[in-house]
A and B are shown apart, each in its own frame.
Chain A
């Protein structure tokens, strides 16, 4: 199939006969979102509680009702609108159906009412374990509701490559191989010298290039894959066999 291994992506089969790629949000992003939401909820409750505390017994009753509404309703209310709580919006993640479409009201309610099961025995432990055992990072509530949490804007995640020489490889590469070259070019500045040479050597094997120039060559190929052109005027003529 398509590039499964290199990037953390999942494929959804559409009725139109193609697979589209989505990126499920993992434990860390969702935990951050949860912490932000938790803080917002706590602050709101604190504010409500401080005001209502002046109203004696009646105020206490209202505090309990507010606590009930906020603790169960917060996620439902926000996710119903757009699939995003403020925390999820911050992390640019979103709740969607299994087929990638916006989640419906009943799905949102189910996934949020089942939170206590995920929280067992303490601190979302069970939900965490379930999440780690499937590719889409679905917790129990997501399984029952048929939802998942995905990254919102995929396009912004690929960094820009530096301008420079552009070469077109003489052999044609699969999308997955192109992706490997691209990923190497994007990250080669962050790697140590030894590791960079090691990785370049693996990628260089099919290109039969000199060892000292392979890194520059890979980067120039990557520029081509990223869409930079050699010379805008005569680009189509010079392009290698695809």
Chain B
């Protein structure tokens, strides 16, 4: 068939098809739309195989693209999906990524413990690991006569610290997620650095005898914050591992799969860090008896551990 005949016999149906594609998404399509779409696909294949003019092929190509979008209309994207992710997808992802999570949990707490023991045995090591100015800073912060927990801190300062924690902590979590793509290196580095730092600081605080203000300050928000950082690291490592060991898939496909598998983890970690920032800014610095803080902190830890266990064990 000559090109002009081909165009002549089909142009009416192409115009109709285009009109259907461009009508409002809310209007329902006729029942035979899939047939029309397949016909246009067929026309494109004919035009391509008969070497018709590039301009004509381009036109039909555009029609197919329009029809594809209309027919396989994907669900409209909504932020409310985040709640779905937090409620059901997050626990499920904890289960699906349980091995990677286990490794990260072990790495974090293992290295923190090593740092803690090391600095407890050899107190001067704190200066080697943390540096003089950091040590002085921390000592000043958690000095029982100091400023970290006092009634004087006003509401506006609380809000400022809330901003700092949101910006800083969640930024770090997202960077760990992204860093994990680079063969896990980015995520693992941040995780191990933070773990060692945390262990060394805790041990040094105990050495100088400031453990009261320190532990009563960190215990409550630490439950959400530390766990979220570990989860973010596991999410990043999952993608990097997909790239390193794609199994029977291509690397591109394995990476794509791993990213979708790990996404609920980072969304969950994000929400946990928002909770942690809230506690850290508005609850932790309150001048309340340490016993109450330990009680509330233990409650938070129990809740986080319980949910983490249920997630990793049963996906619920």
Interface residues of A (CB under 8 A from B): 2-3, 14, 16-22, 55-58, 60-65, 67-68, 72, 80-81, 100-102, 104-106, 108-110, 113-117, 120, 140, 143-146, 154-155, 158, 172-175, 178-179, 182, 224-227, 235-236, 239, 242
Task: Render B20-60 as a binary contact track against A, CB cut-off 8 A, 1 for contact.
Answer: 00000000000000000110011011001011111111110
Stretch of B73-81, B128-136, B212-220, B221-229 on the interface side:
B73-81
Question: Is B179 at the interface (CB under 8 A from chain A)?
Answer: yes
Contact of A236 with B175 in the complex, beta carbons under 8 Å: no
CB-contacts of B1-25 with A (<8 A): 2-5
Contact of B252 with A101 in the complex, beta carbons under 8 Å: no
In the bound complex, residues from chain B placing their C-beta under 8 Å from that of A19 are 48
A61 vs B178: C-alpha distance when bound (angstroms): 25
Question: Is B203 at the interface (CB under 8 A from chain A)?
Answer: no
A73 vs B266: C-alpha distance when bound (angstroms): 15
Contact of B74 with A144 in the complex, beta carbons under 8 Å: no
Closest to A106 in B: B263
Contact of A65 with B167 in the complex, beta carbons under 8 Å: yes
Contacts A21-B61, A144-B259, A226-B53; is A100 near B160 (CB within 8 Å)?
no
User: Chain A: interface secondary structure?
Assistant: helix
Q: Which 5 residue pairs across A and B have the least CB separation, nearest first?
A: A61-B163, A64-B163, A61-B160, A58-B156, A116-B178
> Quick one: which of B3, B175, B259 has the most chain A CB within 10 A?
B259
A49 vs B37: C-alpha distance when bound (angstroms): 51
- Cβ-defined partner of A117 (8 Å) among B59, B157, B182: B182
Contacts A114-B177, A178-B54, A226-B53; is A61 near B259 (CB within 8 Å)?
no
Question: Is B239 at the interface (CB under 8 A from chain A)?
Answer: yes
Contacts A173-B51, A182-B54, A227-B56; is A20 near B61 (CB within 8 Å)?
yes
- Cβ-defined partner of A145 (8 Å) among B156, B174, B259: B259
Contacts A68-B170, A104-B77, A144-B255; is A242 near B260 (CB within 8 Å)?
no
A55 vs B56: C-alpha distance when bound (angstroms): 62
A182 vs B55: C-alpha distance when bound (angstroms): 9
CB-contacts of B156-209 with A (<8 A): 156-157, 159-164, 166-167, 170-171, 174-175, 177-179, 181-182, 186
Contact of A62 with B159 in the complex, beta carbons under 8 Å: yes
Task: Render B251-285 as a binary contact track against A, CB cut-off 8 A, 1 for contact.
Answer: 01001101110010011000000000000000000
Q: A20-B61, A64-B167, A178-B54 are in contact. List 16 more A-B contacts (CB 8 A).
A: A14-B41, A57-B160, A58-B160, A62-B163, A65-B163, A65-B167, A67-B167, A68-B171, A80-B79, A81-B77, A113-B177, A117-B178, A144-B255, A144-B258, A154-B58, A175-B57
Question: Is B64 at the interface (CB under 8 A from chain A)?
Answer: yes
In the bound complex, residues from chain A placing their C-beta under 8 Å from that of B166 are 64-65, 68
In the bound complex, residues from chain A placing their C-beta under 8 Å from that of B157 are 57
B212 to chain A, nearest CB (A): 27
Closest to A179 in B: B54
Contact of B74 with A17 in the complex, beta carbons under 8 Å: no
A226 vs B65: C-alpha distance when bound (angstroms): 21
- Cβ-defined partner of A60 (8 Å) among B160, B177, B182: B160
Contacts A2-B48, A14-B64, A61-B159; is A116 near B55 (CB within 8 Å)?
no
A113 vs B181: C-alpha distance when bound (angstroms): 11
Question: Is B151 at the interface (CB under 8 A from chain A)?
Answer: no
Contact of B178 with A178 in the complex, beta carbons under 8 Å: no
16 contacts between A and B (CB under 8 A): A16-B38, A18-B41, A64-B166, A64-B167, A65-B166, A68-B166, A80-B77, A100-B65, A105-B77, A110-B259, A114-B178, A144-B239, A146-B259, A175-B53, A225-B55, A235-B4
